[in-house]
A and B are shown apart, each in its own frame.
Chain A
Amino acid sequence: MDEQAGNRTTNSGISRRSFIKSCSVAAAALGLSEAMIPKLVEAAETAKRPTVIWLHFQECTGCTESLLRGSHPDLGRLILDIISLDYHETVMVPSGHQAEKSLHDSVAKNTGKFILVVEGAIPTADNGNFCKISGRTAMDILAEVGPKAAAIIAIGTCASFGGIQAAAPNPTGAKGVQDLISGVPIVNIPGCPPNPVTFLGTVLHYLTFKRLPNCDNMGRPLFAYGRRIHDHCERRAHFDEGRFVEEFGDFGHRNGYCLYKVGCKGPETFSNCPSTRFNDVDVWPVSVGHGCVGCTEPNFWDSMTPFYERLPQVSIPGTGIVTDADSAGKKILGVAAAAVGVHAAVGIGKSVLKGKKEE
């Protein structure tokens, strides 16, 4: 565990070439110049591999699944060369008491030095009874481990903002890490799932500069979440030139036109998906013909639905009517026109009657 990353690369038989390739990809994702790559490599080689503890709470393990499919670096190189992953329920060998022991040992040994990665939301309703691991609630575990970390990476939209579990009416009171922990630097890497390159970039940034990357006001690293998807989309030309998919499977869809009219949320979502893409086969939702659903944004399950419409529905209080804004607007305009008609008719009628009186 104390072995340095550089030694591992020579000993493990993983080629230096592919090690540097991983660092270069991370540097590109971070937006660092070419000149910084050697420093990044140096940091990954010479720094003692940082201890990482990975906690799973209320989630689907999709973020880990996405990481397993990453190739810059692949999971093996990530956990053997770059970080020292001491506790991760999905990929670790021990189970039961042995697993619990490795968590407690690692926390005790590395207090104030380890990076905590949290995947999944933390339910807080009913004292957090909705999510328990080895008899303890997620709230308890986070409250114990969280403050002892040097930094916390909340991976995925659930750990960042609550995610789908926090969708209205949020029965389990699910919350993100930043709502429960203070005093420890927290970086959010939202997405459903987020890109493994963004995760690696954040870790390498921490290794190289000894601090977390610059973040926006939602705690998301600017290198990955600083730009709107729409402004980097490969289908943007079709948008500007007015060529749209009207429905899935139509002529426009088969020809790769813009997905704006079938509800793509690219114009309101911040992420590096169009440039970084996923899974080493250069795909992301829009490239395979499905609009963005805005999964990197807080409360996307509430604010970005309906996923196949541009705007949320309007619910008129007290009536139970839920409709889209335009049809509501047209109806209200119709009512206003009718009211104007009645008002004018009353006026005319009154003046006719009054006119007769005066005669």
Chain B
Amino acid sequence: MNYEIKNVWSVLLRLFHWALVLSIVVLVVTGLYINTPWTNTTLEGSVSFPMACMRYFHFLAGYLFTAAVLVRLFLYFFGNRQERIWDILPVTPRNIKSLTTTLAYYCYISDKHDSRLGHNVLAGMVYIVTIVAAVFQLISGFYMLFPETGVWQTLGNALFTSQQQGRFVHHLLMWYFILFAFSHVYMVIWNDVKSSEGLISSIFTGKKFKQKNV
């Protein structure tokens, strides 16, 4: 078969992706510790600050996460054709068709693969939901980190009513990200097996393989 190499993902999008991966892994691990710390310094006076360290890494990763989300929001409007939001919103006939085709394809109802350069619309929609969740996650995070600072206090109180509710939402959204990461990895492997486009390597190289004139 004849394949050609297509450039799909910009460097910035790939950086966004891996920054998000790294930050989510660190955030979930340290976040679980912060919520349910296992006691590991019983010797008073020893040089050990597990909670302080976990919080420090949680905040560092939080800033990386925030940067990644801001980059993705920027790319939704100023990225290349595949990265822009119009390519994945189910508002055009082409995109609505992509959504139904993909659903049938994922449910093994049809073998027709919607071959696109960028995301299929189902995946794209899940990513939009994830970015929205990420925005709420970072607002609730900064609300807890800067509870006495005007902007975050006003915004956080308006959205979550209280620190405790903000914390609760923050914790529930963490479980959303765990579930998302799990199903995302599975669907990517599944797609890579089903259609040989080099989907997994595309997030490293930015390139996909497409069949020529088929």
- By a beta-carbon cutoff of 8 Å, the part of chain A in contact with chain B is 216-217, 226-228, 239-244, 246, 251-252, 260-261, 265, 267-270, 294, 297-299, 303-304, 310-312, 314, 325-326, 328-329, 332-333, 336-337, 340, 343-344, 346-347, 350
Would you list which residues of chain B between 124 and 166 have a CB under 8 Å from chain A? Answer: 144, 147-148, 153-154, 157, 161-165
Q: Which residues of A contact B161 (CB under 8 A)?
A: 298-299, 303
A240 and B48 CA atoms in complex are apart in Å by 9
Instruction: Tell me how many residues of B have a C-beta within 8 Å of chain A.
Output: 37
Residue of B37, B50, B147, B183 near A261 (CB, 8 A) is: B37
- By a beta-carbon cutoff of 8 Å, the part of chain B in contact with chain A is 35-37, 39-42, 44, 48-52, 108, 144, 147-148, 153-154, 157, 161-165, 167-168, 171-172, 175, 178-179, 182-183, 186, 190, 194
Min distance, Cβ A269 to any Cβ of chain B, angstroms: 7
* CB pair B162 A268 closer than 8 Å: yes
A336 and B40 CA atoms in complex are apart in Å by 32
Q: Which residues of B contact A241 (CB under 8 A)?
A: 41, 44, 48-52
* CB pair B171 A311 closer than 8 Å: yes
Q: Which residues of A contact B144 (CB under 8 A)?
A: 267
A314 and B176 CA atoms in complex are apart in Å by 14
Min distance, Cβ A344 to any Cβ of chain B, angstroms: 7
Given contacts A243-B42, A265-B164, A312-B164, contact A337 B182 (CB under 8 A): yes
* CB pair B50 A346 closer than 8 Å: no
Q: Which residues of A contact B178 (CB under 8 A)?
A: 329, 333
Q: Which residues of B contact A265 (CB under 8 A)?
A: 164
A359 and B51 CA atoms in complex are apart in Å by 61
Q: Which residue of A lies closest to B185 (CB)?
A: A340
Task: Please name the 7 residue pairs, one residue from A and one from B, whose CB atoms are nearest each other, closest first.
Answer: A268-B163, A329-B175, A242-B50, A240-B52, A268-B164, A242-B41, A303-B164
Q: Which residues of A contact B182 (CB under 8 A)?
A: 333, 336-337, 340
A310 and B163 CA atoms in complex are apart in Å by 12
Q: Which residues of B contact A343 (CB under 8 A)?
A: 186, 190
Q: Which residues of A contact B179 (CB under 8 A)?
A: 329, 332-333, 336
A328 and B154 CA atoms in complex are apart in Å by 31
Given contacts A242-B48, A297-B164, A311-B168, contact A340 B183 (CB under 8 A): yes
Q: Which residues of B contact A228 (CB under 8 A)?
A: 147-148, 163
Given contacts A228-B148, A268-B163, contact A244 B39 (CB under 8 A): yes
Min distance, Cβ A147 to any Cβ of chain B, angstroms: 28
* CB pair B172 A325 closer than 8 Å: yes
Q: Which residues of A contact B154 (CB under 8 A)?
A: 217
Q: Which residues of A contact B37 (CB under 8 A)?
A: 242, 244, 260-261
26 pairs of residues in contact across A and B, judged by CB atoms under 8 Å: A216-B153, A217-B153, A228-B148, A239-B51, A241-B49, A241-B52, A242-B40, A242-B49, A244-B39, A267-B167, A297-B164, A299-B161, A299-B162, A303-B164, A303-B165, A304-B164, A310-B35, A311-B168, A311-B171, A325-B168, A325-B175, A328-B175, A336-B179, A336-B183, A347-B108, A350-B108
Q: Which residues of B contact A246 (CB under 8 A)?
A: 39
Min distance, Cβ A132 to any Cβ of chain B, angstroms: 32
Min distance, Cβ A321 to any Cβ of chain B, angstroms: 15
Residue of B48, B51, B164, B175 near A332 (CB, 8 A) is: B175
A337 and B182 CA atoms in complex are apart in Å by 8
A260 and B55 CA atoms in complex are apart in Å by 14
* CB pair B190 A344 closer than 8 Å: yes
Min distance, Cβ B153 to any Cβ of chain A, angstroms: 7
A329 and B178 CA atoms in complex are apart in Å by 9
